[in-house]
Homo-oligomer: A and B are copies of this chain.
Amino acid sequence: MSKFWSSMVKRTVPYIPGEQIDQKDILKLNTNENPYPPSPKVTDAIKTELARGINLYPSPTVEQLRDAIASYNQLAKENVFVGNGSDEVLAFSFMAFFESGKAIRFPTVTYSFYPVYCKLFDIPYEEVPVQRDFSLQVEGFFQSEGGVIFPNPNAPTGVFLSLDDVASIVEQNSEQVVIIDEAYVDFATESAVSLIQTYPNLLVVQTTSKSRSLAGLRIGYALGQPELIEGLTRIKDSFNSYTIDRLAIAGAEASFRDKSYFKETTQKILQTRSWVSDELKQLGFHVIPSQANFIFVTHYKESATYLYQQFKKIGVLVRHFNKHPINNYLRITIGSDQDMKLFLTKAAQVLQ
C-alpha cells in the first residue's frame, strides 16, 4: 500500500485475466478466442484506413460503426453505444446505472469481473445462488434494489436462459436497469435484442472479441433505448473522448457488413462444439450443455486441478477457476477441428 493511493485504489481487488502466453506451440483454449481469422474484408478495411493515415483523431462519436451495428441488429444508431471492448462498456454501465447505496444482483457463478467493478465503484451486491445444474434461479432476480446483471449464456458455464425468463427478470425490475451481458450470444439460440423496444430498462452488451474473431481489436458495444445510450455517452465523454482507434473502427465496421463470413465461422464452431462434447463424454467427462464457444466439464474420476496441471505440462491451456462450487470444473474453448482433435488426443493421454 502506498500513501499516495486513493481510497478507491485501496479497495480494489483487480480481475485476473486468463493467461496470455504468446507461444506458437501452445494449444490455447483458455480465453474463448475464435480460432478463425476475421473476414478478409476486415483486413482489407484496416489496410485501407492505414493508408488513409493515422495522424488524425478518430471520430469521437463513431457514427459509421454505430450505423453498421444498428443495421445488423435492425435498430437505429441512437440505440448503439460503442466502447473499447465489452469490459469497458460494462465498466461504464456500472458507473451509469448502478449506485453506491443500492445492492445489485448477479448469480453466484458468473463472470468474475462483476464483483471487481462493485469493489471499484463501491456498489454493494447480492449473489443469487445458481441451481444444481448451473441454471439461473429466475425469481431470485426479481425486485432488486439497485439493478441486475448476468451473462447469457452464462460464464463460465455456457448455460443459456430462455428469452421468456429474461423478459420476466426485466419486467420484475421496471425501476432498475437490467444488463444482459451477451458476450457469447452468437453461439446461442436467441438474443435479448428483440426485447429492447419493449423495455426501457434493458441494456444488452455484446462484443466482437468472440464470434467476430476480433479479440485483438477491442470493440464492445451496448444496445438499448436512447436514454440508456445517452447515459453511457455522458460517462464516456467525461472519461475519454476517443476510446476507439481508427483501425479498430474500420475493421469492426467491415465485420458487421460481412454477414455470410460471420455465419459460416460461427456455424463451424457450433459443429465442433457438438462433436467435441460427444467425444469428451466418451472419455468420462460430464459436459454441461453449452450455448457458448466453450464447454464446461468435470471428470468422473480425475480432479479439475489435476487435469489443469497435467494439460499445462503438455502445452494445453484451459481455464480453471479455483472457487466453490466450480472448482472441480474446467472451461475449454472450442477451437478449430484440428485444435480439438489434438486436444482430444492430449486428453486421452492425460487420462491414461
Q: Does A260 touch B at the CB level, under 8 Å? A: no
Cα-based distance from A60 to B31 in the complex (angstroms): 12
Cα-based distance from A57 to B317 in the complex (angstroms): 15
User: Which residues from B are CB-within-8-Å of A20?
Assistant: 56-60
Does the CB pair B9–A84 fall under 8 Å? Answer: no
A213 touching B47 in the complex, CB below 8 Å, given contacts A2-B231, A97-B5: no
Q: Mark A228-270, 1 if CB is under 8 A from B, else 0.
A: 1011011101111111111110010000000000000000000
Can you name the residue of chain B whose Cβ is closest to the Cβ of A100? B7
Does the CB pair A218–B245 fall under 8 Å? Answer: yes
Cα-based distance from A263 to B119 in the complex (angstroms): 44
Q: Mark A93-115, 1 if CB is under 8 A from B, else 0.
A: 00111111000000000000000
CB distance from A30 to the nearest CB of B (A): 10
Q: Does A75 touch B at the CB level, under 8 Å? A: no
Q: Does A140 touch B at the CB level, under 8 Å? A: no
Cα-based distance from A196 to B236 in the complex (angstroms): 31
User: Which residues from B are CB-within-8-Å of A218?
Assistant: 58, 242-245
User: Which residues from B are CB-within-8-Å of A57?
Assistant: 17, 20, 31, 33, 209, 215-216
CB distance from A59 to the nearest CB of B (A): 6
Does the CB pair B231–A9 fall under 8 Å? Answer: yes
User: Which residues from B are CB-within-8-Å of A46?
Assistant: 50, 247
Cα-based distance from A105 to B177 in the complex (angstroms): 36
Does the CB pair A99–B4 fall under 8 Å? Answer: no
